[in-house]
């Protein structure tokens, strides 16, 4: 037997095993969805903007 055939058999057994159908329904997914990556990116963008603004602000204060 080829490795590919054994792999396909194994994945089929895992997929058809009772109790492994843990895929959430669309309503459950919508209720539990939280865009953590987007929120983290937005916060990082805000922090970067503040660091840039304060950097330029203090540089201008030093120049008098």
Using 50, 70 and 90 to split pLDDT, how confident is the model at 36?
A: very high
Contact between residue 32 and residue 24 where contact means Cβ atoms under 8 Å apart: yes
Q: Is residue 5 part of a domain?
A: no
Per-residue confidence (pLDDT) for residue 19, from 0 to 100: 61
Which of helix, strand or coil describes residue 1?
coil
Residue 12 inside a domain? The answer is no
The set of residues, in sequence order, having a beta carbon less than 8 Å from that of 20 and lying 6+ positions away, is 14
41 belongs to a structural domain: yes
Q: Nearest 5°: phi and psi at 21?
A: -85, 70
Q: Does residue 48 fall inside a structural domain?
A: yes
In a domain, 19, yes or no: no
% the chain with pLDDT above 90: 45
14 within 8 A of 20, measured Cβ to Cβ:
yes
Q: Specify the pLDDT at position 62.
A: 96
* 30: containing domain: 24-64
pLDDT of residue 31: 83
Count of domains observed in the chain: 1
Is the pTM for the entire model greater than 0.85? no
């Amino acid at each position: 037997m080829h490795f590919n055939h054994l792999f396909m058999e194994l994945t089929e057994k895992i997929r058809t095993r009772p109790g492994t159908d843990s895929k959430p329904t669309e309503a459950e997914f919508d209720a539990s969805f939280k865009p953590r990556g987007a929120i983290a990116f937005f916060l990082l963008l805000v922090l970067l903007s503040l660091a840039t603004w304060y950097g330029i602000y203090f540089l201008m204060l030093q120049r008098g």
